[in-house]
Structure formats: structure tokens, C-alpha cells
């Protein structure tokens, strides 16, 4: 098991599901303390309990300044500092031009831009010099996809914010980076489809433009047991002993 996060304190916003939840699991597996957020108390509590290690679920809506203040106050009280901030919570919406409403504009930009700015700014006093900020962007910032102009624009904004913040935080040795996942099968993607069949079709379509011609999964890879490993080997190979 990796020790990469030994003694580190991390916050993963939107860590109660999908990519954020797997990210939190990796940090906990590496020995770190992780605070995960989401808007639903029960979901956040269950998601924290699902990860072995020092994982704390905090209900916090990234659009709410009060919620973020409570989150970072809790981190300060319990852990005293923050080393890693992963700003991952986002709103994914489909709205082709001509159908875009004020409500959907506000939802996407409130979470993806305002929420990201507030999350980073409110974490700053607690963030240790030499710490790390990771913003979850998207391939959508570079690649057109029908109906996703608002989401794409918000994720392009994330890249712009990160470049400037990286410059501004250099004196404190804080690195700011963006990860840009490709299409990934997560609860957030599933909720864009009305039925299980639609979801299967959506996931299949999303993967077609990728080198592997399939969407990624947000599930943490679990070590295969011996019989699974052996079954995956060629019968023509040496006897399977491990
Ligand atoms: N899946 C993809 O194909 C894909 C591709 C590229 C980039 N991304 C990016 O990767 C990140 C995670 O995506 P995902 O697909 O894993 O999403 P997801 O399955 O929908 O999970 C989103 C997480 O964020 C939380 N969340 C949503 N709105 C929030 C808010 N206002 N405040 C706090 N937490 C909030 C959700 O919990 P609650 O709903 O309970 O609040 C959940 O924990 C996002 O930034 C997304 O844009 C995803």
C-alpha cells in the first residue's frame, strides 16, 4: 500500500460520489486524512463510511459561503491545517443553444465557477505553504459536444483560473493544477439519462471518441483474488500459482 499521503490533510469537494469519491479513497489508502463534501448529509456520511481510514463526511454545498466556512472551520479544529484541496464538485447540464434558460446558466456557473473560486479562496488561510490545489476540469473544455456549451465554458474557465492562481501562489510554493477527465461512467452521468437503456446508450456513445473506444469507470480498481487472476491467464501459459 502506498504511503504517498501519510500525515497529509485533504479536502475533496463533491467527494460523496463518482470521481471525487475514488479520489478520496486513493488519498485515504495513501495514509491521508480526507474530508469529503456533498449536498446530502446521508450520502456524505455513507460515502465516508464506505472508505477505510480517516475519512470525514461534511455536508457542504459549494455554492454556499456559509457551508464552506463551516467546512474549513471543522478542518481547522480537527486537523489544524490543509495540505491538499481537490475542487471537484460540479454541475453537469445538457442545454442546446435555443433552449438555455437563466436557471440552467446560473446553476452551472454557480457551482462550477463561483463554487470553485469560493472553495479555493476560503481554503487559502488554512492551506499550508507547499500545498496542492487540484481543480477538476474536463475534456469538454477542448472538445465540442452537442448541448454542453455552458458546461464546456465553465470548464474552460477552470483552466483560466488555475493558470492565474498557479502564478499568484508561486511565492507560497502552492501548486495549482487541473485534471481533465475524459468520459467517465459516474452517478452524475447516469442522471442525464431517463432510463437504464438510455444510460447504457449514453455511456457507449460517450466512449466512442476515446482511444479505448469506451468510457472510463470511476470505480476504484480492487485487487483481483487469486481465482480471478488465474482465470484471466492463458490456459497455454505456465500453471497459475499467484
Ligand atoms: N463523469 C464524466 O464523464 C466527467 C468527465 C469530465 C469531467 N468530469 C468532472 O469530474 C467531476 C466529478 O464528476 P462526476 O461525474 O464524478 O460527478 P457525480 O457522479 O455527479 O458526483 C458529483 C459529486 O459532487 C457533489 N456535488 C454536486 N453538486 C455539489 C455542490 N453544489 N456542492 C457540493 N457538492 C456537490 C455530488 O453530491 P451531491 O449531489 O449529493 O451534492 C457528488 O458527490 C466534475 O467536476 C465533473 O465536471 C466528469
pLDDT tens, position by position, 88-138: 999 999 999 999 999 999 999 999 999 999 999 999 999 999 999 999 999
Report angle CA 70, 4, 177 to the nearest 5 degrees.
60
Contact assessment for residue 133 and residue 116, using Cβ atoms and an 8 Å cutoff: no
- Per-residue pLDDT of 65-90, as tens digits, reads 999 999 999 999 999 999 999 999 99
217 vs 101 pLDDT, higher one = 101
How remote is the CA of residue 105 from the centroid of ligand 1, in Å?
17
**pLDDT tens figures, 158-202:** 999 999 999 999 999 999 999 999 999 999 988 888 999 998 998
CA of 240 to the centre of ligand 1 (A): 41
- For residue 236, pLDDT beyond 50: no
**pLDDT number for residue 107:** 97
Whole-angstrom CA distances from 135 to 89, 169, 228 are 9, 14, 36
Return the ligand 1 atom nearest residue 47 CA: 43
pLDDT at residue 238 in the model: 41
**Residue nearest (by alpha carbon) to ligand 1 atom 24:** 14
User: Is the distance from the beta carbon of residue 14 to the nearest atom of ligand 1 less than 6 Å?
Assistant: yes
Q: How far is the centre of ligand 1, averaged over its atoms, from the C-alpha of 42 (Å)?
A: 16
Per CATH, the homologous superfamily of domain 9-181 is: NAD(P)-binding Rossmann-like Domain (3.40.50.720)
Question: Counting atoms of ligand 1 from 1, which one is nearest the CA of 44?
Answer: 40
Q: What is the mean pLDDT of the chain?
A: 91
Residue 226 has what pLDDT? 41
The band of 230, judged by pLDDT with boundaries at 50, 70 and 90, is very low
All structural domains of the chain with their residue ranges: 9-181, 187-235
What confidence score (pLDDT) does residue 210 get?
A: 87
The pLDDT > 90 percentage for the chain reads: 79
Active site residues: 151
Length of the chain as a residue count = 242
Structure confidence at residue 192 (pLDDT): 87
**Largest Cα span, the chain:** 63
pLDDT for the residue numbered 1:
64
Centre of ligand 1 to C-alpha 231, Å, is 35
Nearest to 115 by CA among 93, 86, 90, 137: 90
240-to-84, 222, 224, 234, 237 alpha-carbon distances in Å: 41, 20, 14, 10, 8
Q: Give the distance from CA 242 to its chain's centroid.
A: 34
Q: Is any ligand 1 atom within 6 A of the Cβ of residue 187?
A: yes
Question: In terms of Cα–Cα distance, which of 122, 45, 137, 42 is closest to 85?
Answer: 122
Task: Point out the least confidently predicted range of 14-23, 110-119, 189-198, 233-242.
Answer: 233-242
The string of DSSP letters for the chain reads ---TTTT-EEEEETTTSHHHHHHHHHHHHTT-EEEEEES-HHHHHHHHHTSSSSEEEEE--TT-HHHHHHHHHHHHHHHS-EEEEEE---------TTS--HHHHHHHHIIIIIHHHHHHHHHTTTEEEEEEEEEE--GGGTS--TT-HHHHHHHHHHHHHHHHHHHHTGGGT-EEEEE---SEE-HHHHTTSSSHHHHHHHHHHHHTTSTTSS-EE-SPPPPPPHHHHHHTS-TTSSPP--
CB atoms within 10 A of CB 44: 22
Contact by Cβ (8 Å): 24, 36: yes
C-alpha to C-alpha distance for 147 and 128, rounded to whole angstroms: 40
Amino acid at each position: 500500500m502506498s504511503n504517498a499521503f501519510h500525515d497529509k490533510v485533504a479536502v475533496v469537494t463533491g467527494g460523496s460520489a463518482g470521481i471525487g469519491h475514488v479520489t478520496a479513497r486513493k488519498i485515504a489508502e495513501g495514509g491521508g486524512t480526507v474530508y469529503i463534501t456533498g449536498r446530502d448529509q446521508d450520502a456524505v456520511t455513507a460515502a465516508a463510511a464506505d472508505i477505510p481510514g480517516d475519512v470525514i463526511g461534511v455536508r457542504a454545498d459549494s455554492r454556499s459561503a456559509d457551508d464552506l466556512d463551516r467546512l474549513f472551520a471543522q478542518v481547522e479544529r480537527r486537523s489544524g491545517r490543509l495540505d491538499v484541496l481537490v475542487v471537484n464538485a460540479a454541475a453537469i447540464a445538457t442545454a442546446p443553444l435555443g433552449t438555455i434558460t437563466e436557471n440552467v446558466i446560473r446553476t452551472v456557473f454557480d457551482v462550477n465557477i463561483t463554487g470553485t473560486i469560493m472553495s479555493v479562496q476560503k481554503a487559502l488561510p488554512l492551506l499550508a505553504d507547499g500545498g496542492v490545489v487540484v481543480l477538476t476540469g474536463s475534456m469538454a473544455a477542448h472538445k465540442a459536444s452537442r448541448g454542453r456549451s455552458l458546461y464546456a465554458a465553465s470548464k474552460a474557465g477552470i483552466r483560466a483560473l488555475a493558470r492565474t492562481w498557479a502564478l499568484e501562489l508561486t511565492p507560497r510554493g502552492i501548486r495549482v493544477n487541473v485534471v481533465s477527465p475524459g468520459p467517465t461512467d459516474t452517478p452524475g452521468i447516469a442522471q442525464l439519462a431517463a432510463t437504464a437503456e438510455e444510460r447504457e446508450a449514453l455511456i457507449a456513445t460517450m466512449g466512442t471518441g476515446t482511444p479505448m473506444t469506451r468510457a472510463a469507470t470511476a470505480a476504484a480498481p480492487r485487487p483481483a483474488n487469486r481465482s480471478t487472476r488465474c482465470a484471466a491467464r492463458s490456459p497455454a501459459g505456465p500453471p497459475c500459482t499467484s
